[in-house]
């Protein structure tokens, strides 16, 4: 069976989902018998080199660069998977969604208790090279069609492994109730 091609990306996430992926530990050796990695932080490949079978997305979209990356993944990956709560529903970064963007920026850069005073007036960064921050944080499925969702913050390594094996081999993924029960 030819190896499946996998790409991964972290958008507005903390890389915890990627860390959980690595927690499959020695099964990584089994994985590389089944798949090859294309664009991913795992191999530091910045651009796609070919069409991919599976795209794994960590994090939602908080800026225009995230949106561009996600659309690019949708175009390049046959199957796109939202990995973790940030990708599925915005997660922790989306706590700002209840506060107007300008108030968030003012608190972060002008008036917040951790903003350093000094001779130079504080400014909200506005360099044109910086990604443009969106009005709110968007879960991935509000930007592009997502095919599968792996719950958890982060999803457990066993769940990531089982999902990958199911996707690569075409088997049905059976999720026990404990997958969704976090207490
Ligand atoms: Fe980090 Fe949790 Fe978001 Fe994954 S779901 S990127 S672990 S905060």
Measured in angstroms, how far is the CA atom of residue 3 from the centroid of ligand 1? 28
Contacts of 35 (CB under 8 A, 6+ apart): 3, 4, 5, 6, 54, 164, 168
Select from 70, 64, 65, 77 the least CA-distant residue to 140.
Answer: 70
Measured in angstroms, how far is the CA atom of residue 121 from the centroid of ligand 1? 34
Q: Could you identify the atom of ligand 1 that is nearest to the CA of residue 91? A: 3
List the chain domain ranges.
4-97+135-180
| Per-residue model confidence as pLDDT tens digits over 123-175 | 999 999 999 999 999 999 999 999 999 999 999 999 999 999 999 998 888 77
Contacts of 164 (CB under 8 A, 6+ apart): 6, 31, 34, 35, 54
> Ligand 1 pocket: which of 11, 13, 15, 22 to mutate (most atoms <8 Å of CB)?
13
Cβ of 153 less than 6 Å from ligand 1:
yes
Q: What is the pTM of this model?
A: 0.93
Indicate the CATH number of 4-97+135-180 among 3.40.50.700, 3.90.550.10, 1.20.810.10, 3.40.50.720: 3.40.50.700
């Amino acid at each position: 069976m030819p190896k499946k091609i996998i790409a991964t990306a972290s958008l507005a996430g903390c890389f915890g989902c990627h860390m959980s992926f690595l927690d499959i530990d020695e099964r990584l050796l089994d994985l590389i018998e089944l798949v090859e990695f294309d664009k991913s932080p795992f191999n530091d490949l910045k651009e796609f080199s070919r069409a991919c079978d599976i795209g794994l997305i960590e994090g939602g979209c908080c800026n225009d660069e995230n949106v561009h990356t996600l659309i690019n993944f949708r175009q390049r990956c046959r199957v796109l998977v939202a990995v973790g709560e940030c990708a599925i529903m915005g997660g922790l970064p989306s706590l700002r969604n209840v506060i107007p963007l300008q108030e968030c920026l003012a608190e972060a850069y002008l008036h917040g208790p951790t903003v350093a005073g000094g001779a130079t007036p504080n400014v909200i960064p506005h360099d044109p090279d910086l990604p443009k921050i969106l009005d709110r944080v968007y879960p991935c499925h509000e930007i592009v069609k997502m095919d599968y969702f792996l719950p958890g913050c982060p999803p457990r390594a066993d769940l990531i492994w089982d999902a990958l094996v199911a996707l690569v081999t075409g088997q049905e993924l059976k999720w026990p109730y404990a997958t969704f029960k976090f207490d």
